[in-house]
């Protein structure tokens, strides 16, 4: 499968948006661990802004930045991929269910659906285009890329892929470790105009080879499912051709070839 | 060409029983599966559509780590209707690497986590260290279980778009087939009863006090059910059997938990499905509604139906039989649509004498027997997610 990458974004520790992160990802500026703070979701109406959780903020920050040059953000099909979904919301409901009263907050409940971030995005930009939300555990970024590139290839439409994950709340955080928050987004198109790179994707029914981290930034990748996109982000930042192995399942991965345009 | 795809095997497990045969018999006999709730820890005074036989549906020993209510529902489905055997035959045709698993769920095995929370000794916050989050609670636990159980080696995706998950999974499966990533896919949805969902809908005051009565003028809400619906999708050949003629999706972009009052998103999904199938509205003979039984959903869906089809196409909701099986509903209702096609049956809404007098579409309230060429199945969900499928005869 092929798609052209039009724009990309990133929010993570020491990676505050694409423009600020590009030299760091390319290796021409040093990376330093710093708390990741997603910008307030200015695209949401004030009521929804209050209701949006930190997880939704990360997703919307990535989606907004990848589409900021677009005249109309409502025209994109979307794929949202997240291994954990909104751990704080799920954790809040589980806690409430085990209080003596057992009362669940209605707002928490409608924010608990895995497609909450996608729902907020489509409301914010007034988009009625199709949207799918995927899980994927540690392979969530690869799962999202497979679905998004499939949509581009078969329906010939531009697709916004958003991958995001945040640490779970205690006590689930003790069983499912996500060390840091991370979000990124890719705008994918069927044609080459105004593109950063050509992406070619192939499914391989074998485990991904073990990556060898070259530096501390590479070492972030296993700490968050969305950070598994780092090898792609770094190739794009450096405008470097690359062949990347993205883990999808314990015994399967995607082979991604990146060719700068 | 993305469409059509052949539904070369299918299985459904719901409150009506395990397999297609009990679902078919219940539809003809107008015998619903809802009952006063016995699932522990639920809100008082509700009815649910629980599945019988889960106690005997443990995963095989080598996959015991996946054991949870949701994967037991999947297991029961794999054992029913010769589904696992049909997939094994497909493996011989295509190879295990060429078959994907793309399945939907809203809450996966979260019921297992709820039990672990409840079992903590007083004053303890942590969960037992042996608790297997990845193979129970995690959304990916469902496709990974089905993939391992069937010996498949293709991609496995977990679709989670609330109550459209089961239908939407079929669109994603079709995409992987059309893109040439695989030759076949196991698609559908599985969702189990859990306290999060039951208390969540209770907090929104959307649960019915009795068995749900979609499309009734005095309808009072949802009855939650649990179910597993799986299909094997392949490119069409000469073999007889149901076809997935097309699918369409849309977003409301309106509100997180309330549908657009005029049903614009629903209209968009229905029209997209018709366009995918290359059909005019008049070429559909029956629409199986999302029809949850809430005031807002059913009124919105009636407006959307009338907008697309006028009053010339029969429609009904079958959630009075199964309850609302959330992320599995689109999958079991696609299989139910295939029964309707084969039997020439429009199953009238259960438990109501007449449709809401304000409704303008042709809502069936008694079973009708007629020739059906094509059936549409609607699913709508929180977050403004909409998906429609069109099923036809091969």
For residue A176, the chain B residues in CB contact (below 8 A) are: 133-134, 138
CA angle in degrees (0–180, nearest 5) for A184-A188-A192: 135
Check B138 against A147: CB less than 8 A apart.
no
Would the pLDDT of A37 be above 90? no
Alpha carbon separation from A59 to A37, A40, A151, A189, B53 (Å, rounded):
12, 11, 20, 20, 41
What are the tens digits of pLDDT across the range B79-113? 999 999 999 999 999 999 999 999 999 999 999 99
What are the tens digits of pLDDT across the range B304-325? 999 999 999 999 999 999 999 9
**Pairing outcome for strands B286-288 and B314-316:** parallel
- Could you tell me the pLDDT band of residue B251, with boundaries at 50, 70 and 90? very high
- Report the percent of chain A where pLDDT is more than 70: 100
Arch. (CATH architecture) of A2-260: 3-Layer(aba) Sandwich (3.40)
User: What are the φ and ψ backbone dihedral angles of B366, each rounded to 5 degrees?
Assistant: -135, 155
Mean pLDDT value across residues B25-34:
98
Q: What is the largest CA-CA distance in chain A?
A: 60
Task: Report yes or no: A258 at the B interface, CB cutoff 8 Å.
Answer: no
Verify cis geometry, omega within 30 degrees of 0, for the bond prior to B246.
Answer: no
Structure tokens at B350: 């259960």
Nearest chain B residue to A87 by CA: give it.
B138
Q: What is the DSSP track for B119-179?
A: TSPTT--SPPTT--STTTTSTTHHHHHHHHHHT--S-EEEE--GGGHHHHHHHHHHHHHHT
All structural domains of chain B: 5-393 (3.40.47.10)
Q: Quote the CA–CA distance of B186 and B94 in Å, as a whole number.
A: 13
pLDDT at A49: 86
pLDDT at B243: 98
User: What are the φ and ψ backbone dihedral angles of B48, each rounded to 5 degrees?
Assistant: -135, 165
Structure tokens at B305: 């139906």
Q: Quote the CA–CA distance of B141 and B73 in Å, as a whole number.
A: 13
For residue A174, the chain B residues in CB contact (below 8 A) are: 126-127, 129
Length, in residues, of chain A:
261
pLDDT at B377: 98
Q: How far is C-alpha B21 from the chain's CA centre? A: 17
- Could you tell me the pLDDT band of residue B241, with boundaries at 50, 70 and 90? confident
Residue A119: exposure state from Cβ atoms within 10 A (0-12, 13-18, ≥19):
buried
Q: How far is C-alpha A173 from the chain's CA centre? A: 20
The pLDDT mean for chain A works out to 96
Would the pLDDT of A194 be above 90? no
Residues of B carrying an active site annotation: 163, 290, 324
User: What are the φ and ψ backbone dihedral angles of B263, each rounded to 5 degrees?
Assistant: 70, 35
pLDDT at A40: 84
The domain segmentation of chain A, as residue ranges, is: 2-260
Check B254 against A123: CB less than 8 A apart.
yes
Residue in B97, B108, B181 nearest the CB of A150: B181
Q: Quote the CA–CA distance of A186 and B197 in Å, as a whole number.
A: 33
- Could you tell me the pLDDT band of residue B166, with boundaries at 50, 70 and 90? very high
Q: Quote the CA–CA distance of B97 and A126 in Å, as a whole number.
A: 40
Residue that is written with structure tokens 């040059």 in the block:
A69
């Amino acid at each position: 499968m092929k798609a052209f990458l039009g724009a990309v974004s990133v929010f993570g520790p020491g990676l505050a948006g694409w423009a600020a992160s590009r030299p760091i990802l390319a290796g021409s500026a040093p990376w330093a661990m710093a708390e990741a703070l997603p910008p307030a979701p200015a695209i949401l109406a004030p009521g929804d802004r209050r209701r949006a959780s930190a997880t939704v903020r990360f997703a919307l920050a990535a989606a907004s930045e990848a589409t900021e040059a677009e005249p109309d953000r409502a025209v994109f099909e979307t794929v949202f991929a997240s291994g954990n979904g909104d751990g704080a919301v799920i954790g809040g409901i589980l806690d409430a269910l085990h209080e003596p009263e057992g009362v669940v907050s209605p707002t928490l409940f409608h924010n608990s659906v895995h497609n909450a971030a996608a729902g907020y995005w489509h409301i914010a930009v007034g988009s009625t285009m199709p949207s799918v939300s995927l899980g994927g555990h540690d392979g969530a970024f690869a799962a999202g890329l497979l679905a998004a590139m499939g949509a581009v290839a078969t329906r010939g439409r531009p697709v916004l892929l958003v991958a995001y994950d945040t640490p779970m709340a205690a006590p689930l955080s003790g069983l499912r470790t996500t060390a840091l928050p991370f979000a990124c987004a890719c705008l994918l198109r069927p044609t080459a105009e105004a593109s950063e790179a050509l992406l070619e994707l192939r499914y391989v029914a074998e485990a991904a080879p073990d990556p060898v981290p070259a530096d501390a930034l590479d070492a972030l990748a296993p700490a968050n499912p969305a950070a598994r996109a780092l090898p792609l982000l770094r190739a794009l930042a450096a405008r470097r051709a690359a062949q990347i192995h993205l883990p999808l399942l314990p015994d399967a991965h995607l082979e991604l070839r990146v060719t700068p345009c | 060409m993305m469409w059509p795809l052949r539904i070369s095997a299918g299985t459904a497990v719901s409150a009506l029983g395990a397999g297609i045969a009990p679902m078919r018999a219940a539809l003809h006999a107008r015998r619903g599966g809802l009952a006063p709730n016995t699932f522990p820890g639920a809100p008082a005074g509700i009815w649910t559509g629980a599945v019988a036989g889960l106690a005997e549906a443990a995963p095989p020993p080598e996959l015991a780590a996946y054991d949870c209510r949701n994967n037991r529902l999947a297991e029961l489905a794999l054992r029913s209707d010769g589904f696992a055997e049909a997939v094994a035959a497909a493996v011989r045709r295509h190879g295990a690497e060429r078959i994907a698993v793309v399945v939907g769920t809203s809450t996966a095995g979260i019921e297992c986590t709820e039990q672990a929370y409840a079992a903590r000794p007083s004053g303890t916050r942590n969960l037992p260290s042996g608790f297997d989050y990845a193979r129970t609670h995690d959304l990916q636990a469902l496709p990974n279980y089905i993939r391992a159980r069937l010996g498949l080696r293709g991609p496995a995706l977990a679709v989670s778009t609330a109550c459209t998950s089961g239908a939407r999974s079929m669109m994603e499966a079709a995409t992987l087939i059309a893109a040439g990533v695989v030759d076949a896919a196991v698609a559908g949805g599985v969702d189990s009863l859990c306290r999060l969902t039951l208390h969540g809908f209770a907090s929104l005051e959307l649960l019915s006090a009795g068995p749900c009565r979609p499309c009734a003028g005095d309808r009072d809400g949802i009855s939650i059910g649990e179910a597993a619906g799986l299909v094997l999708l392949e490119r069409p050949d000469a073999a007889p059997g149901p076809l997935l003629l097309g699918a369409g999706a849309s977003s409301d972009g309106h509100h997180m938990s309330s549908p657009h009052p005029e049903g614009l998103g629903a209209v968009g999904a229905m029209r997209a499905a018709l366009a995918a199938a290359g059909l005019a509205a008049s070429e559909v003979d029956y629409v199986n509604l999302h029809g949850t039984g809430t005031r807002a959903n059913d009124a919105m869906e009636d407006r959307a139906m009338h907008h697309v089809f006028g009053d010339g196409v029969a429609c009904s909701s079958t959630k009075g039989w199964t309850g609302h099986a959330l992320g599995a509903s689109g999958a079991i209702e696609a299989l139910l649509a295939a029964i309707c096609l084969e039997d020439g049956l429009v199953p009238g809404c259960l438990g109501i004498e007449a449709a809401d007098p304000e409704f303008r579409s042709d809502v069936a309230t008694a079973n009708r027997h007629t020739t059906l060429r094509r059936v549409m199945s609607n699913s709508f969900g929180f977050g403004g997610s909409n998906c429609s499928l069109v099923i036809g005869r091969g």
